[in-house]
A and B are shown apart, each in its own frame.
Chain A
């Protein structure tokens, strides 16, 4: 098989890339998607279900379409015949339900021809060749987007062998006393879940969580903040990235009031270490860095790609500079692209990378 464009990874980032390429004028037969399962939301759905997430952290534009408009607020307003979602969106108070988001993904999947372009294969090896990239034995493609997703759940080393420990993104129930490790959105969701289940919750955290609406401050979602970010040398960019990616969850009474009530009842407290709980839920996110990624690690090693700490050094458009030229493109999407776009592991980040990737595919 030989083609123009390949997307490796059939999760949400790959799906957004596919939809963007289609919107940009590429025909379905020009795009090949390699994915282990046909449902682009499958992995995300499992994780959301594990932490019993009901609403998205993202806002109206947190969807898989290639453009930010029309967003989910417009869809919601149309379905409910109400302006309330639009007003809430204008006030940055609209967060779609997980159910709506997934239904929207399903609608897009059904009408986009995605299913016909997904080839069930797990690509394990990418090799640069003249004019493109060879993907295992699947053939050579001129432009390749690697959207491999999170390389796995991160568990604290000292809890790896603890029989009480479960990762937040794995299916679980709640014991009478639950210790939640972490301070991000998953941790905050688990505090409320466990309290709602009648548990007593102990929060173990290394630092106080930052309260902000989205994963990163909003200026870093657009060129306004990105220009300065891109101008930094890679090492300083990593430093800034670490500060931007500290655990956070949104401000709001819906988070604060249940915790305050539980605190007053003695059912929620913060402790410095894990001890004595019936269950330990590790809301500690994902393994971070290309070394944990089965596809990226050999790619970096074999092509001696520039890296800095955990990240592959990328151009602002999320391409790999050493392997991208006027004839071919290798770009990263998802969490691996954070050195190009700090919120790369969000829907908006996937869209940013997809737009840049489309520009290269369309003009070359």
Chain B
């Protein structure tokens, strides 16, 4: 078929009309945005590709649908990941597969059968084309409007000191102006909360997130808390570009994410943690800990333990006492491309498992290692108590 650009787009929209209707229903029924977000990504990627295909494919044989479909699937999945669309993988793949299959059935059979001049019109649908486009654009526009109207209210925290604890009990986007400081900690008690550009000083824990969903901490700084810098329980959170100063805090952890295995995966990315017992630690949680810088901890630098599961990747760990990166207690860890140096022997208790290991896997844990830089430590890798280590090629 030699498509015109308009024909490509109209044929694509025709193929996606049914899946779009389905996701609209799913979205409304489940009261979730991800189905619509996923559909929007599919439409966006598809139409963008149509602009690419048009000049390079003056004629598209039927068989080309397969490689082009795989190509588009890769692009859609990359966009889904990049845009943090929270779509279950199986459903995302199923939706794409249905859309692709419908496109083939429509493009090769139903549309040529229904519209006499479909082939010679280059896939254009005549008067039905603009109607179809409206049929796709209008629901998305309405959904977008609805989404906008339901955005959490944005609260600007003025520069200067604010006495805490600051308790968030509604959907909210808390944005700190330059120099905004909360003294006494922040407690998040509602789902769908984003906190950005806020400095927290003091408090029992710097920021507490307990039993809520969809919380994002972006560009937050925490210091001088009595216990943990960021304390997460039974929740999956996104923490990025944070700064935690735990110097002088003897028993607290920089970031502690615990007991949220059933809540989904947390993400800790591009944070700096100084001091504390453990810089970043998970207990019974799924997490991706990546591109962080952790230093001067008194127990371990980064720790995944108590049946945690996830990745520790591209982190820099310095001056950890006893252990740099720890995977323990039946956890399953992927430890890749980390840079661990200047780990110190814990001379205080004489424990052989704390003899300055850059990476330690302990007590039935399983770790997969790859391309870690472990120079400048008393010991490189320690494996204890029925643990397993695999090297990824």
User: Which of A's residues lie within 8 Å of B, judged by CB?
Assistant: 20, 23-24, 61, 66-70, 89-92, 217-219, 221-227, 348, 351-352, 355, 358
Contacts and interface: CB of A to CB of B under 8 A. Distances in A.
A70 B4 contact: no
A70 B119 contact: no
Contacts of A225: 2, 58
Interface in B1-37: 1-4, 7
Contacts of A351: 120
B113 A90 contact: no
Question: DSSP majority for the B interface?
Answer: loop
A358 B120 CA distance: 15
Question: DSSP majority for the A interface?
Answer: helix
B116 A358 contact: yes
Interface string B44-79: 000000000000001101110000000000000000
Contacts of A223: 4, 7, 120-122, 124
A348 B121 CA distance: 12
A59 to B, nearest CB: 10
A23 B114 CA distance: 11
A24 B117 CA distance: 12
Given A24-B116, A69-B108, A355-B116, A219 B63 contact: no
Given A91-B61, A91-B62, A224 B119 contact: no
Contacts of B109: 69-70
B275 to A, nearest CB: 64
11 contacts: A67-B118, A68-B118, A91-B61, A92-B61, A92-B62, A92-B63, A219-B59, A221-B119, A223-B121, A224-B2, A224-B4
A225 B4 CA distance: 9
A90 B108 CA distance: 9
Given A222-B122, A224-B58, A224-B122, A23 B116 contact: yes
B104 to A, nearest CB: 9
A20 B2 contact: no
Given A222-B2, A222-B122, A223-B120, A68 B112 contact: yes
Interface residues of B, number: 22
B119 A68 contact: yes
Contact of B62 (A67, A89, A217, A352): A89
Contacts of A91: 61-63
B126 to A, nearest CB: 10
A218 B58 contact: yes
Contact of B2 (A69, A70, A89, A219): A219
B69 to A, nearest CB: 13
A222 B63 contact: no
A211 B119 CA distance: 23
Contact of B112 (A23, A67, A89, A221): A67
Interface string B86-122: 0000000000000000000000110011001111111
Given A218-B2, A218-B59, A222-B7, 10 more contacts: A67-B113, A69-B109, A69-B112, A90-B63, A217-B59, A221-B119, A222-B121, A223-B120, A224-B122, A225-B58
Contact of B119 (A20, A89, A90, A222): A222
Contact of A224 (B3, B112, B118): B3
B120 A352 contact: yes
A70 B7 CA distance: 20
Contacts of B62: 89-92
A222 to B, nearest CB: 4
B108 to A, nearest CB: 7
Contacts of A89: 62
Contacts of A358: 116
Contact of A70 (B61, B113, B116, B122): B113
B145 to A, nearest CB: 35
Contacts of A90: 61-63, 108
Contact of B120 (A70, A92, A217, A222): A222
Contacts of B4: 222-224, 227
A217 B3 CA distance: 14
B362 to A, nearest CB: 56
A87 B261 CA distance: 48
B58 A66 contact: no
Counting from the closest, the 8 A-B pairs by CB-CB distance are: A90-B62, A69-B112, A222-B122, A218-B59, A223-B122, A222-B2, A224-B2, A219-B2
Contacts of A218: 2, 58-59
Nearest to B121: A223
Contacts of A355: 116-117, 120
Contacts of A68: 112, 118-119
Nearest to B108: A69
Contacts of B112: 67-69
